[in-house]
Amino acid sequence: MIERSLMRPRNLIDLVHLCRSHAVNLGKERIDAEDIRRGEDAYSTELVSNISFEIRDVYPEAQDV
């Protein structure tokens, strides 16, 4: 999970939060491998979206990247 978070503490916290949220939504007391996989999926989608916003802020012509 540390490697997936790009070695950024805030990203690691976000990733763990997404994994935990998935487990809690299913009423689980523990995070299992499926919760981690689903959390990584959500994290990846969120990361791409955030990077897109950053690119747009720096280079407005790239709005639809």
pLDDT tens digits for 3-45?
888 888 999 999 999 999 999 999 999 999 999 999 999 999 9
Tokens of 55: 């690119």
pTM (predicted TM-score): 0.78
Burial annotation 17-40 (CB, 10 A radius, 16+ → b, else e): ebbeebbeeeeeeebeeebbebbb
Checking if the pLDDT of 59 tops 70, the result is yes
Question: What's the pLDDT band for 52 if we cut at 50, 70, 90?
Answer: confident
Give the span between the Cα atoms of 52 and 62, in whole angstroms: 9
